[in-house]
Homo-oligomer: A and B are copies of this chain.
Amino acid sequence: MPPTDPPPAAPTAPAPVGLRERKKAQTRAAIQHQAMRLFRESGYSATTMEQIAAAADVSPSTLYRYFPTKEDLILQDDYDPLLAAAFRAQPRNLPTLEAFRAAVFQAMAQIPHEDQEEALERAYLGYTIPEVRARAMDHMLVTANTLATLFAERLNRAPDELEVKVLAGTVIGALLAAQELWIADRSRNLFLLLDRALQCLINGPGDLAPADPQEA
């Protein structure tokens, strides 16, 4: 039911052991790296799949096997499982949203700094290029369902209960709000914005005072 997932195995979860798996991960990384370089230098749409294949020293058919669509070159990563694990590890007495907020930061802390940089660059491209942004937004639906499942699990409720889904939805909405402000001014700290957005959900009554820009 959820949207398309990358057929080839994800890069992180099961650390590659065999020689084959290692080469595969290597090829994937090389392709993605070269693609990002070309996008940076020549622009996304001006870069053809053939150019990327050539730069990464593989054939177009191989490229297509690793990244079924051009957008996947930007979108593919998989930090969601990391976040899920961090969330499950939160103490049960914490309110759901607080637990989520903590999980976000713990998960982020596990990602090497250089990978964070790259993820941010991909996030930016993923927002500015319409086709990619569309796919990225689509992935938000998957994330929303993942969140609903996690929340339901924690709350002893069904994942398809309206209230649970709404809660997950609001979190997604907060993420979007933070992301958008970051895109508008990338000198701001995305994670700080994210934290503040979640804080709005936590203490917010959902509604604001009409005129006064102050609410603590």
Contacts and interface: CB of A to CB of B under 8 A. Distances in A.
B176 A144 contact: yes
A190 interface: no
Copies held by the complex: 2
Interface in A120-172: 130, 133-135, 137-138, 140-141, 144-145, 154-157, 160-172
Contact of A172 (B97, B134, B173, B213): B173
Contacts of A4: 130
Interface stretch (A30-38, A40-48, A57-65, A196-204): A196-204
Interface string A75-111: 0000000000000000010011100000000000000
Nearest to A1: B184
Report the contact-size class of chain A (Cβ under 8 Å from the partner): 35 or more
Contacts of A97: 206-207
B207 A163 contact: no
A76 to B, nearest CB: 15
B138 A162 contact: no
24 contacts: A3-B130, A4-B130, A96-B208, A133-B138, A134-B135, A134-B137, A137-B138, A141-B176, A155-B208, A160-B181, A162-B200, A166-B174, A166-B197, A167-B200, A167-B204, A167-B207, A170-B174, A170-B201, A172-B172, A172-B173, A172-B176, A173-B173, A173-B174, A205-B205
